[in-house]
Amino acid sequence: MIFTTQCDSPALWQTYLSDPASITMEGILIFNKHLLFLLTVIVLFIGWLLFYTLHYFIEYNNKFSSKFVHSKELEIVWTSIPALILLILSTPSFTLLYAMDEISEPELTLKILGHQWFWSYEISEFNSCQKQEQSLKYVCYMMALDGLPTTKQGYFRLLETNKRVILPTNTHLRLLVSAADVLHSWTVPSFGLKVDACPGRLNQVNLFIKRIGVFFGQCSEICGVNHGFMPIVIVSLPTVQFHHYIMTKLELS
């Protein structure tokens, strides 16, 4: 299967969040920018206050200290303004939080199981497909560095898996995350997802991928010696192509 994709991998000296690929991550990014603006204003204001305090408390500038020790009015102002700022911030924060929790009618279910130290997947419960009872199961191990073709560029050390999870774009997906042995955490930064995989517990999240791409992630819960060696690779395909892919795969199995 040949398709061109953008690559959403971590970049060298990256300091900012990765490009969003899901509605959730877009929301997180917008909220992050919103917060950064407010933080900048607050830091500038506090810096200005500090500068003036230092300036006026130097004996060189002020030979006689003031008798001013307490002000009830001032205290009310500097307590209520930060409280008001927090109150204003809570609105977009809670909106985002509840929007992320919303579960729409999913087209398919991706079951994710964390193991020491690899991920296993199962794609099932297709909504608009005759093969509803069937499912596609596979296990994804990290590709060892020695196995990576050195002549070929574009492979990422500690990030590539032997099989990639293929998912459709512009469709509501349900992810069910659990673990077989110890705690793991299924994380893909481009989707804004970090779901704990707990043994004996099923965590549900929804995912709506907005564009095609190759997305990378890693386990984000210390789970043993090979914690750093259980990466996640997701490839998103246009819906029609995905349908094609899943039909052929199911027929083969």
Which residues contribute to the site for ligand CUA (CB under 6 A)? 114, 117, 184, 219, 221-223, 227, 230
CB nearer to ligand CUA: pick between 164 and 227: 227
CB of 114 vs ligand CUA, minimal distance in Å = 5
Q: Which residues contact 123 (CB under 8 A, 6 or more apart)?
A: 108, 109, 110, 111, 135, 136, 246
CB of 198 vs ligand CUA, minimal distance in Å = 12
CA 25, distance to chain mean position in Å, is 7
CB of 177 vs ligand CUA, minimal distance in Å = 12
CB of 58 vs ligand CUA, minimal distance in Å = 53
Task: For residue 8, give both structure tokens.
Answer: 């959403």
Query: Measuring CA to CA, which residue among 185, 24, 210, 20 is closest to residue 112?
Result: 185
- Strand-pair category, 108-115 with 172-179: parallel
CB nearer to ligand CUA: pick between 49 and 202: 202
Euclidean distance between CA atoms 127 and 247, whole angstroms: 13
CB nearer to ligand CUA: pick between 135 and 203: 203
CB nearer to ligand CUA: pick between 27 and 114: 114
CB of 116 vs ligand CUA, minimal distance in Å = 7
CB nearer to ligand CUA: pick between 28 and 223: 223
- Angstrom CA distances, 121 to 141, 151, 176, stand at 11, 30, 10
> Radius of gyration over alpha carbons of the chain, in Å?
25
